[in-house]
Amino acid sequence: MRRAGFWAYGLLTAFVLGSVFPFYWSYLVASRDSGMLTDRVPPLLPGGNFWANAARVFDSVEFVKALTNSVIVAGTVTLTTVFFSTLAGFAFAKLRFRGRDPLFLFIVATLAVPTQLGIVPLYMAMADFGWIGGLWAVMVPNLVTALGVFWMRQYTLEAVPYELVEAARMDGCSMIRVYWHVCLPAVRPAAAFLGMFTFMTSWNDFLWPLVVLDAGNPTVQVALEKLQSGYYIDYSLVLAGTTLATIPIVIVFVLLGRQIVAGIMQGAVKG
């Protein structure tokens, strides 16, 4: 493998700067007032208005409620997805049962189904249940995903030796105890990655929450959209909200970056 030279480092640096810049710009506008945007030469250093603008975000939309809702939704969806995916992954990878392979193929095929296009009947069903406006409507469709089951099955295949499952069975463990005491500890790294991935996906989800939630009880993404769709766009306000909603995720992302990168690359090789 070639050692990276000047050009490689230069291009990569440009890339990373390009990755970071929109975040920085968001903070920059949020820390000044909208007047800066009319300046002929825009300033490149942050001003001191960020907290003032952030305070206006909390006055303009239900931002505290939005943050709470997003934590509840993303947290619940993460827990159920990890639990059901590891369980199904264990069954598909280590248990023998009639129809196993066709059923697994079916799950892989559903990965390609654009379920987003079914929102009209889904909305009607939620309306019938009286769930519109509530968090159930956002959480229920995302309790478990095909991608989660697929990943966990692939990982469990390698991470859990058959002998261990057999030994636990011989000791008289029930299936669910085998799952809990043998399978789950062995797949913990993959389950952790699935958890982070699910949390981020759920936190950033937009179309469906926009359909079923209103401004009185939003998630963070819906609140941001409401912030932007005011009578006229005050960018210092809107980007203060955007910064507030994005920075926590970016910090977590950088802290857990090594695991996230490894997870994506591992999933790619196995997929």
Residues 46-85 that bind another protein (CB under 8 A): 84-85
Taking CB under 8 A as the criterion, which residues in 140-159 touch another protein? Answer: 140-141, 143-144, 146, 149, 158-159
Binding string, residues 80-119; x marks residues near another protein by CB under 8 A: ----xx-xx-xxx--xxx--x--x---x--x-xxxxxxxx
At 116, the amino acid letter reads: Q
Three state DSSP letters for 10-44: HHHHHHHHHHHHHHHHHHHHHCCCHHHHHCCCCCC
6 binds another protein (CB under 8 A): no
**Cβ atoms 85, 153 nearer than 8 A:** no
The minimum distance between CB 64 and another protein, in angstroms, equals: 18
Sign (positive or negative) of CA dihedral 32, 242, 58, 200:
negative
The minimum distance between CB 258 and another protein, in angstroms, equals: 5
Residue ranges of alpha helices (H) inside 130-234 are: 135-139, 146-159, 162-170, 175-178, 184-186, 188-204, 207-212, 220-228
215 binds another protein (CB under 8 A): no
Taking CB under 8 A as the criterion, which residues in 160-189 touch another protein? Answer: 160-161, 163-164, 167, 170-172, 174-176, 179, 186, 189
The minimum distance between CB 140 and another protein, in angstroms, equals: 7
**Among residues 144, 138, 264, 250, which one has the least CA distance to residue 205?**
138
At 30, the amino acid letter reads: A
Taking CB under 8 A as the criterion, which residues in 224-253 touch another protein? Answer: 224-225, 228-233, 235, 238-239, 242, 245-246, 249-250, 253
Distance CA 197, CA 112 (A): 19
- Contacts with another protein by CB under 8 A: the residue count is 109
Distance CA 177, CA 157 (A): 18
Of 50-58, 61-69, 71-79, 219-227, which segment contacts another protein by CB under 8 A? 219-227
Burial class (CB in 10 A: 0-12, 13-18, 19+), 227: buried
Closer Cβ to another protein, 179 or 193, answer by number: 179
Taking CB under 8 A as the criterion, which residues in 250-269 touch another protein? Answer: 250, 253-254, 257-258, 260-261, 264-266, 268-269
